[in-house]
Amino acid sequence: MIEVRNLKKKFGDHTVLESIDFQVSKGEVVCLVGASGSGKTTLLRCLNLLEMPDEGSITIGAKTLKFGGGSVRRNDIKELRRFSGMVFQSFNLFPHKTVMENIIEAPIIVQSRPKAVAIEEGKILLSKVGMLEHQDKYPDALSGGQQQRAAIARALMMKPEVMLFDEPTSALDPQLVREVLKVIEGLAKEGQTMVIVTHEMNFARRVSSKALFMDKGFIVESGKAAEVLTNPKEASTREFLALLDDD
């Protein structure tokens, strides 16, 4: 489903990702954990080519791209992106469009789905994330949790093989975190393949099948989530988890 090989990324002279290798099988939920600045978000953005890797290769679904030998063609970027949907920290809903208008725009414009079909599919997904009654509201009339659930529905509308989540609860008040995590947990139970950057360790232990701990641009430890996040082998992983427990 996903295969990353020898991925490297620099910003100027600063190396952000170094020799990244991992795989995600169909139906797996993989969490990326680590301190701020460890490279988690950059890695996730590289998977969707919002950041362009300097070296290595990424395979998602049936598409493989190799980096470092020249510029990547725009059509190749579009083809890789069609296999994945991304949910950001800050929702990124269009403020001048209703919830329904937000989630049907890309299927209509990018995938040429008939508007009536997109609306019916949108209603099903909004019901799934508990947002159907809010379909005609604008984002500024919604709570942060509601906006994030609408953003998840928007990503799902493109029928991605992989869902990418970049700390989907970090911008939410604590009382709103649970409703978003519940939606993601439901997707996991349905077998949706996901890669999730998160600091919610209890959620990660419960939902993830695999955990990757990152430090200073490297994957320091990987394995079954229950093992990595409960009984880590590496000292840096233990130190990171101890800091979270102290909080």
Per domain, the residue ranges of the chain are 23-50+73-83+161-247, 92-159
49: phi then psi, degrees, rounded to nearest 5: 60, 30
Describe the strand order of the beta sheet including 2-11 as a list of residue ranges. 14-24, 2-11, 55-60, 63-67
H or E, element range at 182? helix 174-189
**Single-letter amino acid code for the residue at 20:** I
Q: How far apart are CA 95 and CA 3, in angstroms?
A: 36
What pLDDT shows up at residue 2?
93
Q: How far apart are CA 108 and CA 70, in angstroms?
A: 33
Residue 246 pLDDT: 52
- pLDDT tens column, 40-60: 999 999 999 999 999 999 999
Render each residue's pLDDT in the chain as its tens digit; 247 residues.
899 999 999 999 999 999 999 999 999 999 999 998 999 999 999 999 999 999 999 999 888 999 987 778 888 888 888 888 999 888 889 999 999 999 999 999 988 999 999 999 999 999 999 999 999 999 999 999 999 999 999 999 999 999 999 999 888 888 888 899 999 999 999 999 999 999 888 899 999 999 999 999 999 999 999 899 999 999 999 999 888 765 4
In 25-91, DSSP assigns E strands to 29-33, 55-60, 63-67, 84-87
Provide the greatest CA pair distance for the chain.
55
* Residue 32 to residue 219: CA distance in whole angstroms: 9
Q: What is the predicted pLDDT for the residue at 55?
A: 95
The DSSP code for 19 is: E
What is the reported pLDDT for 172? 86
What pLDDT is attached to residue 166?
A: 93
| Span 100-137, pLDDT tens digits | 999 999 999 988 999 999 999 999 999 999 999 999 99
User: Which of 3.40.50.720, 1.20.140.10, 3.40.50.300, 3.40.50.620 would CATH assign to domain 23-50+73-83+161-247?
Assistant: 3.40.50.300
Q: Tell the residue number behind the tokens 């600063």, with chain if given.
A: 14
pLDDT at 175: 81
Contact 192, 84 (CB under 8 A): no
Alpha helices in 8-47 (DSSP H): 40-47
